[in-house]
Chain A
Amino acid sequence: MNYEISKTPIDTQAVIDKVIQRNAGAITTFIGTVRELTAGKKTQYLIYEAYESMAVKKLQQIGDEIQQRWEGAEVAITHRVGRLDITDVAVVIAVSTPHRADAYEANRYAIERIKEIVPIWKKEHWEDGQEWVGNQLETVAYPTGKPEGEDLGE
């Protein structure tokens, strides 16, 4: 199971262990964490929710896309759901490839795709309220309101 949604804290090393392979010359690990300040506003905690069965399929799709683009890549992704406090780990992505440049690029690709096609949402809780976060400013997810082209694939 290289692609998982977890209700409990993510064991980063366990995700890394899944991509260990004899042909790898590099493993990159991305750890997404809960930030306190967004545009000057103070987050108290987050609730992550997933359409779990579809989310696992879409994480798998991202892994498949990576293996088509970067030869010899192995990928593992675990995303957390539930209540997360500041500094908690929300997502861990591990990618191994024969050469280091590919490991960096493929890992970056994975997090950007997660923000586009994986049905996971976060609800921000501030001191003075709460709100489900839609399109994040740091992404350009679905400018037309829906996925297009290859996003619709498999």
Chain B
Amino acid sequence: MNKVLFFAHLRDEAGAESVMMDAAGKTVAELKTLIAKKYGVTRLDTAMVAINEEFAPDADRIGDGDIIAFIPPVSGG
């Protein structure tokens, strides 16, 4: 199983801070498509994905137990 975290506007849209799902074996790009459909979140094309707290490109494959985070464009500072 995988914990999937949402932040900022993505959390508002998903209606949850995190969800549990089985994403093992999927690529980051595949998970983005799935999440967009299942949770109705928009603007995922501009979001980055982190696997275990490191930015991951679309082609990276998710392993069992990995923590996935959807990270909208940041606005700190």
Interface residue SS majority, chain B: mixed
Residues B26-77 near A (CB distance < 8 A) = 45-48, 50, 53-58, 69, 71-77
Q: Indicate if the CB atoms of B76 and A134 lie closer than 8 Å.
A: no
Residues of A within 8 A of B (CB): 32, 48-51, 53-55, 57, 79, 90-91, 111, 114-123, 131-136, 141-142, 145-147, 151-152, 154
Residues of B within 8 A of A (CB): 5, 7-9, 12, 45-48, 50, 53-58, 69, 71-77
Interface residue SS majority, chain A: mixed
Q: Indicate if the CB atoms of A118 and B74 lie closer than 8 Å.
A: yes
Partner of A123, one of B5, B8, B69, B73: B8
- For residue A47, give the distance in angstroms from its CB to the closest CB of chain B: 10
Q: How far is the CA of A57 from the CA of B69 in the complex (A)?
A: 14
Known contacts A51-B7, A57-B53, A146-B57; is-contact A122 B75 (Cβ 8 Å): yes
Other A-B pairs, 14, CB within 8 Å; known A54-B50, A121-B72, A122-B75: A54-B54, A117-B55, A121-B8, A131-B9, A132-B8, A132-B72, A132-B75, A133-B75, A134-B75, A135-B73, A145-B47, A146-B48, A147-B48, A152-B54
